[in-house]
Chains A and B, each alone.
Chain A
Amino acid sequence: MAIIKGYDMPDGLYYHEEHSWARVEDNRVTVGMDDIFQKEAGDIVFVDLPDEEDEVEQGEVCGKIQSRKWIGKLCAPVSGEIVEINEDLEDDTGLINQDPYGKGWILVIEPSDLENELDNLIHGDTVVDFIEREIKRTEEERAKA
């Protein structure tokens, strides 16, 4: 568990710059949205997900997430086949807010090129840089505005 600048970014996960996370276990990759996203988005209202057996490419938009009046995107952190969808989200999308790395997981991918693609994701020591970059960009934009 790592709290970085007020954001919960668990060790061991891989993060996509569009704020999806990936947890690698055996040959399955569980995917969700990170704490930065859920804090910024506020209450998640609806999740529009792909179907099981759909193929996705790394970085491809594979779902849409609505919070308030904003519709954002879920980017696949790795390529592969979607083998499971979190059906509990159908009844309670708030799970993404309450427990983004636990009950709020979104889908599971059976990866097709995991070894190469993990190098493209943010992991380990680089997570701190990623968060600092995001915060700095926010502050700069606010100052400009």
Chain B
Amino acid sequence: MHSWRLFKDTVDHVSTASGLSIDDTLPLSLSRHGSPPILHLYIFRPSAIVGKYQDIEAALRLDRCRDRGTEYNRRSTGGGTVIMGPKVVALGLGINIDHPGLGKGIGGIFESLSAVLIRALRDLGIKAGFRLKNDLEVDGKKIAGLSATLETEKAILFHASLLVDFDIPLMLDIMNQPPAKLHDRGYSCFSQRITTIQEQLGHDIDMGPVMEVIEKAFSQQFGVSFEKDEPDRWEKESIKSLANTRYTNPDWIFSHKHPRSSMGMGELKTPGGLLEIYLSLAGSTIEHIVITGDFFSTTKDINLLESALKWTSAKREKIAEHLSEVWREDMIHGVDVPTLTEAIVKAKENLVRA
């Protein structure tokens, strides 16, 4: 049985600079230092971490972050903002793309690694599934977010955040997205879109047992054992260097290599009721969308429609195409794909720079 390395810390709450520098070292260690795959399980201090190509000043209310002592930083993998903290498992994995058992291509890689986390959640008694655009969900509500980057010739860094518990009021206070007006609806809007391990179990659970089921799921999925380890001298040098050049460096954190951000809201009266759309774009791509109003539908269906549109083109024909891919009769009573598309386009017409 092959052995992977495990960097695990169930106790300390690490800074974003420390956690992210270690994660970035994982694929480098595989490709340049001959390491086997490394799994890093840990906990961040309360923090907000944006995706590599996000506009941090548009995504976050930095003044509120500073007031609350919430760290902010930029990771090297894609996707949107994640809120980390004492009850969110942070997972970094360095693995070669041709590793046996890992699916081929972008979709295959995400499917394989999602399967591990689904297995881990099943061990806890939670039935989760993979949803479009690389999230894990339980009954249509997001429980984990996944992202990845191909850092070297063959080695990827895979990131996941798994919600054991989640501070929605904190998120509402420090995030700019979705648009501020939605904050009026506050907690209930987001509690319908997010769930946690503790909510599913109906009781509290420590971080240690959650990390153990993740470790076990990787062992079973890939047929490997884990050797508890810590960064060696070469890796410590890399971590130190990355902390300096990236994660404590304003040029990295406030990087301007990102698409322009904009937000808008649109309303449309339909036979099925009022549709309200809150939209955030990154360039010409939908970064975040909330579909709400006084129509009849289910949380699961609305979350499916929102997921189908996230990280896709905001062009009218593309919106209609992506909605059609997941649309079922009567998903929103009295509303069809052209009508929903029209409501989204209305939000797009009202966009303002974030």
Contacts of A66 in B (CB 8 A): 52-53, 78
User: With A68-B78, A70-B78 in contact, do A91 and B258 touch (Cβ < 8 Å)?
Assistant: no
**Number of A residues with CB within 8 Å of any CB on chain B:** 29
> A69 touches which one: B258, B311, B315 (CB < 8 A)?
B311
In contact, A70 and B108 (Cβ under 8 angstroms): no
Listed stretches B56-64, B98-106, B224-232, B344-352; interface member: B98-106
Segment 7-62 of A: residues with Cβ below 8 Å from B:
40-43, 45-46, 48
Complex alpha-carbon distance, A144 and B318, angstroms: 34
Contacts of A42 in B (CB 8 A): 106, 312
Contacts of B147 in A (CB 8 A): 69-70
Segment 28-52 of B: residues with Cβ below 8 Å from A:
51-52
In contact, B134 and A68 (Cβ under 8 angstroms): yes
**Does A103 sit at the interface, judged by CB under 8 A?**
no
> A94 touches which one: B112, B115, B315 (CB < 8 A)?
B315
In contact, B112 and A145 (Cβ under 8 angstroms): yes
**Chain B residue with the shortest CB-CB distance to A70:** B106
Q: Nearest Cβ distance between residue B142 and chain A, in whole angstroms?
A: 13
Contacts of A141 in B (CB 8 A): 102-104, 108
> A71 touches which one: B78, B107, B283, B312 (CB < 8 A)?
B78
Contacts of A70 in B (CB 8 A): 78, 106, 110, 134, 147-150
User: With A93-B284, A141-B108 in contact, do A43 and B79 touch (Cβ < 8 Å)?
Assistant: no
Which of the four size classes fits the interface of chain B? 35 or more
Contacts of A145 in B (CB 8 A): 101-103, 108, 111-112, 115
Segment 143-165 of B: residues with Cβ below 8 Å from A:
145-150
In contact, B103 and A41 (Cβ under 8 angstroms): no
Contacts of A123 in B (CB 8 A): none
Complex alpha-carbon distance, A93 and B148, angstroms: 19
Contacts of A144 in B (CB 8 A): 100-101
Q: Tell me if B's interface is mostly helix, strand, loop or mixed.
A: loop
In contact, B108 and A46 (Cβ under 8 angstroms): no
Q: Nearest Cβ distance between residue B220 and chain A, in whole angstroms?
A: 13
Contacts of B101 in A (CB 8 A): 144-145
Q: Nearest Cβ distance between residue A74 and chain B, in whole angstroms?
A: 11
In contact, A46 and B311 (Cβ under 8 angstroms): no
**Chain A residue with the shortest CB-CB distance to B311:** A68
In contact, B106 and A40 (Cβ under 8 angstroms): yes
Contacts of A72 in B (CB 8 A): 106, 150
**Chain A residue with the shortest CB-CB distance to B149:** A71
In contact, A69 and B51 (Cβ under 8 angstroms): yes
Contacts of A142 in B (CB 8 A): 103-104, 108
Complex alpha-carbon distance, A122 and B313, angstroms: 31
* Extra inter-chain contacts (18) besides given A43-B313, A48-B53, A145-B101, CB under 8 Å: A45-B282, A46-B259, A66-B52, A66-B78, A67-B78, A67-B311, A69-B77, A69-B146, A69-B147, A70-B106, A70-B150, A71-B52, A71-B53, A71-B150, A93-B259, A141-B103, A141-B108, A142-B108
